[in-house]
Amino acid sequence: MKNRELFKTGSKPAPGELIMVQGFINTLDVEGNTDDIGTRQTLKSWLVRHGLLSATATVSSADLKAALALRESLRSLLLANNGGMMSPASLSHINSLLCQYPLAVSFARDGDLSLVPAAQGMAGALGQIVSRVVKAVNKGTWFRLKACDDPVCQWAFYDNSKNQSGRWCSMAVCGSRDKARAYRRRQSGQRRLPGRRK
């Protein structure tokens, strides 16, 4: 499967099955203000195109709301992977969302044990994405999937750096923008406010 053609990854694609999670989060271009799954129709076609949902399935307004909530919860986890803080309230909100996607234990033919969606339809489709997050956590790749530290960008990128210290989806764009902001702050004598970022 030509994953890089299918999913929006930018120049830092996630490895293996995690690329689908990255692509799901990057359906929203925060900076460009475009959303590939912003309507019931576009959400359905994205899920069908990636083999997660049957073409005969229906997507309700509640399904759309749930998908967008899941996506933004995943993005907040990626911000946390980039040194951000996760409040107990945010974490319990995310955990309550995840309850909608039950997973079941399943053995593969090679003896590998995995968690697969236990539900059908939309809950199963989004459950596929959740199950890939679980798999990535177990493999240790999850913590390298980050949301760009530039607040206007927040693009999901895979941090391949040796010491896992990458902050931006693109050093040339977001990294230099951050440095310009820091420069302006220094010129005006302001200090960076303590926030969720390191």
The verdict on 169 binding Zn ion (CB under 5 A) reads yes
Q: Which of 63, 148, 156, 159 binds Zn ion (CB under 5 A)?
A: 148
Q: Does 155 bind Zn ion (CB under 5 A)?
A: yes
CB nearer Zn ion, residue 7 or residue 155:
155
Question: Residues with Cβ < 8 Å from 134, sequence gap 6 or more?
Answer: 103, 115
Q: Per CB under 5 A, which region of 12-20, 58-66, 85-93, 150-158 contacts Zn ion? A: 150-158
Count Cα neighbours of 43 within 13 Å in the Cβ-side half-sphere.
Answer: 22
> For residue 160, what are its two tokens?
């391949």
Q: Which listed range, 95-103, 134-142, 147-155, 188-196, lies at the site for Zn ion (CB under 5 A)?
A: 147-155
| 125 near Zn ion, judged by CB under 5 A | no
In the list 26, 28, 64, 150, the residue contacting Zn ion (rule: CB under 5 A) is 150
**Interface with Zn ion by CB under 5 A: which residues?**
148, 150, 153, 155, 169, 174
